[in-house]
Structure 1
Amino acid sequence: MDKACAQGTDPYLSLLEYRNTPVDGLKSPTQLLRSRRLRSILPVTEKQLLPELACRSTVHCRRELCQRRKKQYYDRTAKTLPALPVGATVRYQLPAETWKPATVTETIGTQRSYNICTDEGHTVRGNRRHLLQTPEGGFIFHFGSYFDIGLFKYLLFTIIIGLYAVIICANVLLIVVICMNRSLHEPMYLFLCSLFVNELFGSTVLFPFLLVQILSDIHIISAPFCFLQIYCVFAYATIQFINLSIMSYDRYLAICYPLQYNTRMTSNKVAMLIALTWLFPFMEVAVTISLSSSLQLCGNIINKVYCDNYSVVKLACFDTTVNNIQGLFITCLVVFCPLIVILYTYMRILKVCYSGSKQTRQKALSTCTPHLASLINFFFGSFFEVVQSRFNMSSVPMMLRIILSLYFLTCQPIFNPLMFGLQMSKIRSLCKSLIFGKM
């Protein structure tokens, strides 16, 4: 009707066609009411205009079937919201108004409806779906990307805990090998050790949390733990970017200035670079979290499987320009500054390789290949995560979105130890002797 009025056509013709249109696989409203079609401007045969009595029982059966099918599709992603205790602080919204604070005073029926008392002293009845918990009452976030997979959750739990065990064993093995062998106490291997420690840190932030959520029926997290997870995930990503850029700088010095390498990359400089790799991210991410945690939120649904800063910022009641500008600035600082260092160092390395001997090219290839592979893998995983956070990805299938959001947190911790452990001959031989004994 609105479309007909906007186009200037006869709205009664639109109403006539609406009454002649079958609904949900049933007959049209006119056929159900008058047992025949109405003549309209659309050409139909005379046979279609003959009266035809609709069987009442058939209509009821088909309608119930359609309703059950709709319920089945809706229940695939629908979640039962946790009950609100009496006295909980919530926010409600009246039509064309902002979210306002209120307090739950009474539970009605089956804990889906509540009486709430507003700040003005009025009593309002609201459905659980339209009542949001606020920080004053202990704010809780709900994850909207989890869905019921039945008994397959135990299979998924087994796969994830197995992957986590492999990550722990692989990274700990390489850390032990580097620390125990004095021949590996060189800048390149110390930076690798820092990288493996960060992989343990990042995987521990995510995997235990995922295991708990998979087995849980209600996927929630308190606000303090959510911000703690955001802090740790951001710190992990920042440490990873800085560590990879420092490793590229180290390879640049080793290949382009081999005779001056020991004087340029001293033990004090190595210690300073490793300290910078770890201290700067924790201080920088603290600023981001302090801005996000101070926001007043008017929603608590995070459409991911773990906490993400921008997903929380989008739930804010008011303008978030400061958060967006700060987030873009930090993203450029953390991503593009290391990227500039990496591009510059590899351009110089390629220049030396093209002008150098075959032995120089082979040495550069053997040391730079695992670093380049790790770099590309992590940059692509981070790119997917940034795009998914900043843009509307509702047209992408839910399962693909979940895989892309978890890629840089799950694949990188297993990719790095396998790549560096298999490609670097020194580490590979020492790992074999440690595991299988000296031959």
Structure 2
Amino acid sequence: MDNVSVVRIFILSGLNETYNYRVTLLTFTSLYYCVILFFNISIIMIIILDQNLHEPMYVLLCSLCFNGLYGTTGFYPKLLFDLFSSSQQISYEGCLLQAFVMYSFACGELSILAVMAYDRYVAICRPLHYLSVMTKRRLAQLICFSWLTPFSIFSINVLLTSRLKLCGTKIERLFCVNWVIVKLTCYDTDTFSNNMVAYFTMFIYVSHGFFIIWTYMHLIRTCVRSKEERVKFMQTCVPHVVSLVTFLFVILFDLMYMRFGSTDLPQSIQNFIAIEFLLIPPVMNPLIYGFKLTKIRNRILSLVCFEREFAPPSKFNL
């Protein structure tokens, strides 16, 4: 059984230099996680409860918000527990699970954004065929694709990692990452299979990126010809572009730093770089779509006005 790891506990050292700021970090992290939950759950409930929003674009937005909840739930509760605790440990199984959640969340985000790009392509470039193409069955297939693809790939990835013989327990991050776990393997351990799966994963998601570029080439070409299509593009595609560019920027920045970055930077800056994709997209996505998409914005405003209308009068107005 030489290929079975004997490591049972990992040490997360990302909080080592923040001991004097634990209370402040705990307060802000708790509030921020509550904001993430509130924004994403609000969008999800609005879409579920309003029959007028049961359209492919809004259902895919609902899936995007679910993914934001999924990824942040894999990180923030553990971080809050670590801020309470004097030692930041995680079990071997828990570390693999967290690594799976982090990777599947990040790649699931890109898969959902790719599916949303396809939806916008059909809606704007082939509007007469939209209802026949984006049927309920096709929508269900696209959602299953966007969730099952990262789940399947990273199940294999984590399974291969679990077979490696490890010679280290210290992870210099706030959470577990599969690539960092692989770097803890002993020198005589064969990681060829892990590398092949990593390259295959990279190929799959680079293909996602090229597909999105292809759809937007057609979208822009179509919108140049028609003022009506330009209005539709600005209203429904701009939030998608902002979400996509923001997500790609933060995730690529983290990947480049993880592979080639210097360890001489202060720990706080390293931590911020590592968790950008868990800080910005989960809050920005529901905000940008909530403000930009007319139906959701009107629904939010109607709820606010309804509450104000039926709020009990204060004693100063009597």
Q: TM-score, normalised by structure 1?
A: 0.67
Q: Which runs of 5+ in 2 are unaligned?
A: 310-318
8 Å contact from structure 2 (residues 14, 267) kept in 1: yes
Q: Shift in Å at residue 240 of structure 1?
A: 0.7
Which residue of 185, 191, 194 corresponds with 1:323?
194
Q: Which runs of 5+ in 1 are unaligned?
A: 1-99, 101-133
Change (3 A) 1:185 1:259: same
Verify: 1:354 aligned to 2:224, yes or no. Answer: yes
The alignment partner of 2:128 has SS state of: coil
Verify: 1:210 aligned to 2:71, yes or no. Answer: no
8 Å contact from structure 2 (residues 5, 162) kept in 1: no
Change (3 A) 1:247 1:326: same
State the match for 1:332 in structure 2.
Answer: 203
Change (3 A) 1:233 1:187: same
Superimposed CA distance per residue, residues 193-219 of structure 1 (whole angstroms, 9 cap, x where no aligned partner) = 111111111111111011111222211
2:128 & 2:72 partners in 1: Cα distance? Answer: 39
State the match for 1:301 in structure 2.
Answer: 170
Root-mean-square deviation (CA, aligned residues, Å) is 1.7
1:378 & 1:362 partners in 2: Cα distance? Answer: 24
Runs of 4+ in 1 over 6 A off after TM superposition: none
Where relative contact order (Cα < 8 A, 6+ residues apart) is larger, the structure is 2
Superimposed CA distance per residue, residues 399-435 of structure 1 (whole angstroms, 9 cap, x where no aligned partner) = 2221111000121110100010011111011012224
Superimposed CA distance per residue, residues 157-199 of structure 1 (whole angstroms, 9 cap, x where no aligned partner) = 1101101101111111111110111111111001011111111
Q: Shift in Å at residue 390 of structure 1?
A: 2.0
The alignment partner of 1:142 has SS state of: strand
Superimposed CA distance per residue, residues 74-93 of structure 1 (whole angstroms, 9 cap, x where no aligned partner) = xxxxxxxxxxxxxxxxxxxx
Q: Shift in Å at residue 393 of structure 1?
A: 2.4
State the match for 1:29 in structure 2.
Answer: none
- Aligned pairs, how many? 304
The alignment partner of 1:195 has SS state of: helix
Once structures 1 and 2 are overlaid, which stretch shifts more, 193-202 or 212-221? 212-221
Counterpart residue identity of residue 347, structure 1: M
Aligned-residue identity in percent: 35
State the match for 2:62 in structure 1.
Answer: 193
The alignment partner of 2:18 has SS state of: coil
Q: Shift in Å at residue 258 of structure 1?
A: 1.0
1:243 & 1:187 partners in 2: Cα distance? Answer: 12
8 Å contact from structure 2 (residues 291, 297) kept in 1: yes
Which residue of 40, 48, 53 corresponds with 1:179?
48
The alignment partner of 1:259 has SS state of: helix
Higher alpha-carbon Rg: 1
State the match for 1:244 in structure 2.
Answer: 113
2:295 & 2:115 partners in 1: Cα distance? Answer: 21
State the match for 1:282 in structure 2.
Answer: 151
The alignment partner of 2:10 has SS state of: strand
The alignment partner of 1:332 has SS state of: helix
More helix by share: 2
State the match for 1:418 in structure 2.
Answer: 287
Counterpart residue identity of residue 379, structure 1: L
Q: Shift in Å at residue 150 of structure 1?
A: 4.0
Superimposed CA distance per residue, residues 38-72 of structure 1 (whole angstroms, 9 cap, x where no aligned partner) = xxxxxxxxxxxxxxxxxxxxxxxxxxxxxxxxxxx
More strand by share: 1
Q: Shift in Å at residue 148 of structure 1?
A: 4.0
8 Å contact from structure 2 (residues 5, 163) kept in 1: no
Verify: 1:363 aligned to 2:228, yes or no. Answer: no
1:135 & 1:364 partners in 2: Cα distance? Answer: 52
Q: TM-score, normalised by structure 2?
A: 0.91
8 Å contact from structure 2 (residues 9, 89) kept in 1: yes
Counterpart residue identity of residue 349, structure 1: L
Verify: 1:169 aligned to 2:34, yes or no. Answer: no
2:164 & 2:261 partners in 1: Cα distance? Answer: 22
State the match for 1:157 in structure 2.
Answer: 26
